[in-house]
Structure 1
Amino acid sequence: MVEPFKNIYNDTFFNQFTAVLGKCIKGFDKKRFLKKIYDDAWEARELKQRMKHIAQVLHEFLPGQYDKNISLIKDIIIALRKEGISGGLEYMVFTEYVEAYGLEHYDISMQAMEFITQFISCEFAIRPFIIRYPEKAMKQMLLWSKHESLHVRRFSSEGCRPRLPWAMALPALKKDPSAILPILENLKDDTSEFVRKSVANNLNDIVKDNPDIVLGIVKRWQGVSPRTDWIIKHGSRTLLRKAHPQAMKLFGLAVADQIVIDKLKITDKSIGIGDTLHFSFDLTNSGKKPIKLRVEYGIDYMKSNGKGNRKLFKITENTYQPGQTYSFKRAQSFRNLTTRKHYAGQHTLAVVINGQELAVKKFTVTE
């Protein structure tokens, strides 16, 4: 069984964490701290709830004034780095602290997030500030997009994604993303892949509400550099998966009306949760010209409510010659993950070429 994410908060973490707190907080009482952490509701709390709880307990052990508390948190991060700790999901407790207690202290919180995000990203904590102080916060994000630290530059994009997963949405930016665009312009040819991936993901968020804006960016950025070309391609993936005509044309992907999918085979038409689905198929270009194809497969996963939910997986994107047949073999794990739970029932496997479903097979997943 997969270990739940919430168990990153374990004895090993707290022994390390409290040792550093003891060095930084005068009169720190480790025994009392852990007693408050491991309260009656601890086991029932999920990951996010545990983060919030730890931030609340930490608040009780800090002096009380927000500016002094932030100064101590900076000292704690410096001490953690001296111990060889370079951040990790569990240390998002610091970003939870800023989100919970810093909204009324704009300037101190902005300085704090600039520092903290170089240890652990503040992409979730910044969002209430963008909602409360939209103009000021987005101007600060624009300044951060030129920061010397790649972590701060990445934060300037990731923090203002309109639809950042597992975070509160930014309705105003979903409706009008114009404040985001100068930030992305500054980062479109960034030297860091970490930053560029965030730019692409931000574009992919924007495209869900404002496809024409992203298509305009694609036209302007296309050919600027190989790095920028990768960004716009990855940032247009939702449009490409939906076979949006203009997006397909911009990336040289034609309608796959002369492509034939044969011999779609599933090794086992019934698999158990935890097993792996093995399948294969042949692709033939029956036309007279080479054609550029985006080859994907989709699985309609059964949800808890008995309905299917399609997830697309890209295999490759290449040019395929006329009269040629190409064979593909793939495997897809049905092991439960913290991010995806599988349910028994009938599932569908589909081969998708340039956004078009060209072959389908049914299979069953059992308990």
Structure 2
Amino acid sequence: MNELIDKGAVVSLIRVLDATGAGTRWEHLEQAAASLDGLSLRERTDHVSRALLADLEGAGSLPGDYPTAAGTVRRALRDVGFTGWILWPVSETVVTLALASKEPGAFEDCLTLLAELTPRLTGEFAIRRLLAADLDRALAIVQTWTGHEDEHVRRLASEGTRPYLPWLSASPGSPHGLLPPFLSWMPSTAIRANTSGARWRTISTTWRATRPIP
């Protein structure tokens, strides 16, 4: 499992980012690629994300220059090779920048960017920090995804707001107004099955007893 983010994946990320014309030297990413041994998947994610942030800082993208980083990531999406588990540290990086940004709309745009990334690799991990930072603000956008034409984005709405996920802390509060009311018209059987498990229903019911849906 840890090898889902290995040296080859980081080298591939460097190639894709370099092709975006960002003009950045990815020296910290190169160092990260050579120092993954002994790290868990979660630790590799954080290690690569820190390296990516350091390289962006060297290019003037910090503190809080989310728009520059987001533009680079969106250009990278033109490459079909920009996919797989290496996108976990990428998504964590853009969330870090969005939360630090003073730019109006960075928070909302980051949610949109996660929706753009999620067909390549689910954004359900990185989205948790946005939920923790401002639950109501995030859910205002996440709710709109339940009717999205792309089932990966619909899945991000359901899985990203679940109370518990592997490698992650509990989601803040609960996804009020989202699930299960929308389950009946979510087209994907897999999404309905994933979000309607007994444990999720129990947690959701308990939460709603203390905070009814408006």
TM bucket, shorter chain: 0.7 to 0.9
Aligned to 2:15: 19
Q: In the alignment, residue 190 of structure 2 is paired with which amino acid? A: F
1:209–1:145 CA distance, 2 compared to 1 (3 A): closer
Aligned to 1:187: 183
1:116–1:208 CA distance, 2 compared to 1 (3 A): same
Aligned to 1:51: 45
Aligned to 1:155: 156
Alpha-carbon contact 1:207-1:213 (below 8 Å) kept: no
Aligned to 2:103: none
Structure 2: where are the runs of 5+ without partners? 101-105, 210-214
Structure 1: where are the runs of 5+ without partners? 215-367
C-alpha distance in structure 2 between counterparts of 1:190 and 1:210, whole Å? 20
Q: In the alignment, residue 58 of structure 1 is paired with which amino acid? A: L
Q: Percent same amino acid among aligned pairs? A: 21
Alpha-carbon contact 1:70-1:112 (below 8 Å) kept: yes
TM-score by length of 2: 0.78
Cα offset for 1:36? 4.5
C-alpha distance in structure 1 between counterparts of 2:68 and 2:15, whole Å? 20
Aligned to 1:34: 30
Alpha-carbon contact 1:164-1:205 (below 8 Å) kept: no
SS, match of residue 120 in structure 1:
coil
Q: In the alignment, residue 182 of structure 2 is paired with which amino acid? A: N
Residue 9, structure 1, aligned to residue 5, structure 2: yes
1:20–1:154 CA distance, 2 compared to 1 (3 A): same
Give the alignment of 1:329-340 within 5 angstroms.
Answer: none
Q: In the alignment, residue 23 of structure 1 is paired with which amino acid? A: A
Cα offset for 1:30? 5.6
Residue 204, structure 1, aligned to residue 199, structure 2: yes
Question: How many residues get paired?
Answer: 198
1:57–1:25 CA distance, 2 compared to 1 (3 A): farther
Give the alignment of 1:105-254 within 5 angstroms.
Answer: 105-173=106-174, 178-181=176-179, 184-201=180-197, 204-208=199-203, 210=205
Deviations 1:53-101 (A, max 9, x none): 111212233340211101101111221x1x4x6x322321222213333
TM-score by length of 1: 0.48
C-alpha distance in structure 2 between counterparts of 1:98 and 1:118, whole Å? 17
1:139–1:27 CA distance, 2 compared to 1 (3 A): closer
Q: Which is strand-richer, 1 or 2? A: 1
1:21–1:171 CA distance, 2 compared to 1 (3 A): closer
Cα offset for 1:171? 4.4
Aligned-residue CA RMSD in angstroms? 2.7
Alpha-carbon contact 2:131-2:172 (below 8 Å) kept: no
Q: In the alignment, residue 55 of structure 1 is paired with which amino acid? A: S
1:35–1:195 CA distance, 2 compared to 1 (3 A): same
Q: In the alignment, residue 186 of structure 1 is paired with which amino acid? A: F
SS, match of residue 128 in structure 1:
helix
Aligned to 1:270: none
1:30–1:103 CA distance, 2 compared to 1 (3 A): closer
Alpha-carbon contact 2:22-2:72 (below 8 Å) kept: no
SS, match of residue 61 in structure 1:
helix
